Amino acid sequence: MKDLHELELLLTSHTPILIIESIEEVRLVQLFSRLGLKLELPVHQWTATEGLKRVDVAMNPQKFTVEPQEVLKHIKSLYRGGIFLLLDFHPYLDEPILVRLLKEIAQDFETAPRTLVLVSHTLLTPPELKHLTARFDLQLPDLAGIKSLIREEAQRWQKAQNRRLRADAEAVERLARNLVGITATDARRLIRKAIEDDGVINHDDLPTVMQAKYQLLSQDGIITFEHDTATFSDVAGLERLKEWLQQRQKAFDGSATNLDRPKGIMLLGVQGGGKSLAAKSVAGSFGVPLLRLDFGSLYNKYYGETEKNLRQALHTAEVMAPCVLWMDEIEKGIARSGNDEGVSQRVLGALLTWMAENKERVFIVATSNDIQKLPAELVRKGRMDEIFFVDLPSIKVRAEIFHIHLRRRNLDPNIFDVEYLAASSEGFTGAEIEQAVVSGLYAAQSHNRPLDTDTLLNELARTSPLSVVMAEQIEGLRMWAYQRTVPAD
């Protein structure tokens, strides 16, 4: 009803051209058909395949108006008012003759009130038309609207199958909440899939729905998605970080309404030291999906497209909330640079604005290898709640890491001298310890014998860890982090 009211206001305010970016053509045609009947205006639809036809009454398409130039000339020749939906007209908006025809039709609106409605998945308004246009955003269904769709689809299925649908009330509530943020068309399709699968709506349907929702929202590769994050909470070490997260669990999930919602953290550390795993453990601790934002894929050579990509990625995070948004190696996207024509500064500005205005439960985890490249306005208190330093693992944590990687490869840690291995791997990162186990397995297989402690010790002895290869750089980072950050472990 809100969409219908806003469209009516735009039409009655004599706006000659409406721009609508949407994939819900059917829903839009239905809305305009209802408005046409109410306002007593004929409603026409044009496509490149069928030409022009009336949609508010049954009439055959006019095949002679298939070509874009011919349809615009035809509309220009009409003196009776009407609404003309031009579907997928975006490829023609860079043709000067067609833009001129659109402009002339719009300028003649007071004489012949013909409203042009351009509908497509994406539309860039030509500069010469901007003063004649208004944009309309089709509202996504809210929670009540999604619940109504679930009821409609349940009734449809029960009527078709002649039996009652089994549904768990809590699962239906969570399904409805998970579907908020996508179009009514897509929501209806996912509801049908959940019902048709087994004639039941229960908690087993939720992971599949969340994965499908993510695929709908992010098809450009800028954001990757991990729904099942429970295993990420089982990470060696990081005890201070885990305690910090536990203290803020209720504030994040909304059960502690008297506390401010936590915004996010910055993770600084040695390369390979476990920052990525720490980021994943945050999602595991909160029990929510993890979204990873790849700053490298944001960048586009066309002006304004990089910022647009960032806004779309952040919108995806809002729609997927509650979630953790992991901004990996953030300095690569927003570090100040003098040769990028100001792109990094515009990206930083867009990010800071979103961080200040976002109201959804999106917890940011930003990881960085060089925090000194980041602008102060990003890392100051208020933007991020805390800065944690992920240092080289202690002997106790290294023993845990050996346990984890041995068990992951179906090996019993009890048959290894894990304490001695941990003592012998001082200065090794978690990634380097894992690689020692992998290399040890290859060496053992080549000699046709099982992996043992001596083989692992040999692999450790043959490895020069990063803390040795780049000792000065890593020691400088550790000295910088001392008293400036909070140890994660």
Give yes or no: residues 249 and 302 share one domain. yes
Q: Which residues are CB-contacts of 164 (< 8 A; sequence separation ≥ 6)?
A: 158
- What is the number of residues in the chain? 489
3-state secondary structure of 393: coil
Cβ atoms of residues 53 and 62 within 8 Å:
yes
**In the structure encoding, which two tokens stand for residue 449, read together?**
């014998």
**Is 481 inside a domain boundary?**
no
**Is 280 inside a domain boundary?**
yes
**In the structure encoding, which two tokens stand for residue 147, read together?**
């619940």
Cβ atoms of residues 222 and 313 within 8 Å:
yes
Give yes or no: residues 260 and 278 share one domain. yes
Q: What is the dihedral of CA 84, 88, 92, 94, to 10 degrees?
A: 110
What pairing do the DSSP bridges indicate for beta strands 43-47 and 51-54?
A: antiparallel
pLDDT tens sequence for the chain (489 residues) = 677 888 888 888 888 999 998 888 888 888 898 888 888 899 999 999 988 888 877 767 666 678 999 999 999 998 888 999 999 999 999 899 999 999 999 999 988 899 999 999 888 889 999 999 999 888 778 788 888 888 888 888 888 888 888 888 888 888 888 787 778 888 888 888 888 877 888 888 887 887 777 777 665 667 777 766 656 666 777 888 888 988 988 888 888 888 888 999 988 887 777 788 888 888 888 888 888 887 766 665 555 567 777 887 888 788 778 888 988 888 776 765 555 566 777 878 888 888 888 888 899 998 887 777 777 788 777 788 888 888 888 899 899 899 989 998 999 999 999 999 999 999 898 889 999 999 999 999 998 999 999 999 999 999 888 888 888 888 888 888 777 888 888
CATH of the domain at 452: 1.10.8.60
Q: Which residues are CB-contacts of 74 (< 8 A; sequence separation ≥ 6)?
A: 52, 62, 65
Write out the residue range of the structural domain in which residue 437 sits.
Answer: 395-469
Give yes or no: residues 273 and 294 share one domain. yes
Domain boundary among 114, 135, 156: 135
Give yes or no: residues 158 and 194 share one domain. yes
Q: Which residues are CB-contacts of 312 (< 8 A; sequence separation ≥ 6)?
A: 220, 222
Q: What is the DSSP letter of 114?
A: E
Give yes or no: residues 121 and 154 share one domain. no
Give yes or no: residues 286 and 267 share one domain. yes
Q: Measure the CA–CA gap between 480 and 483, rounded to whole angstroms.
A: 8
**Is 417 inside a domain boundary?**
yes
Domain boundary among 191, 217, 243: 217
Give yes or no: residues 281 and 319 share one domain. yes
CATH of the domain at 50: 3.40.50
Give yes or no: residues 356 and 262 share one domain. yes
3-state secondary structure of 238: coil
Domain boundary among 217, 250, 283: 217
How many domains is the chain built from? 4
Q: What is the DSSP letter of 257?
A: T
Give yes or no: residues 413 and 319 share one domain. no
**Is 150 inside a domain boundary?**
yes
Cβ atoms of residues 347 and 388 within 8 Å:
no
Separation in Å, CA 253 to CA 99, 278, 333 = 50, 20, 29
Angle between helical axes of 143-161 and 169-179 (0-180°, round to 10):
120
Exposure string of 163-195, with b = 16+ CB inside 10 Å and e = fewer, is: eebebeeebbebbbebbbbbbbbbbbebbeebb
Give yes or no: residues 251 and 336 share one domain. yes
**Is 484 inside a domain boundary?**
no
**Is 477 inside a domain boundary?**
no
Give yes or no: residues 373 and 243 share one domain. yes
The amino acid at 445: Q
Give yes or no: residues 241 and 383 share one domain. yes
CATH of the domain at 164: 1.10.8
- What pTM does this model have? 0.68
**In the structure encoding, which two tokens stand for residue 15, read together?**
């706006």
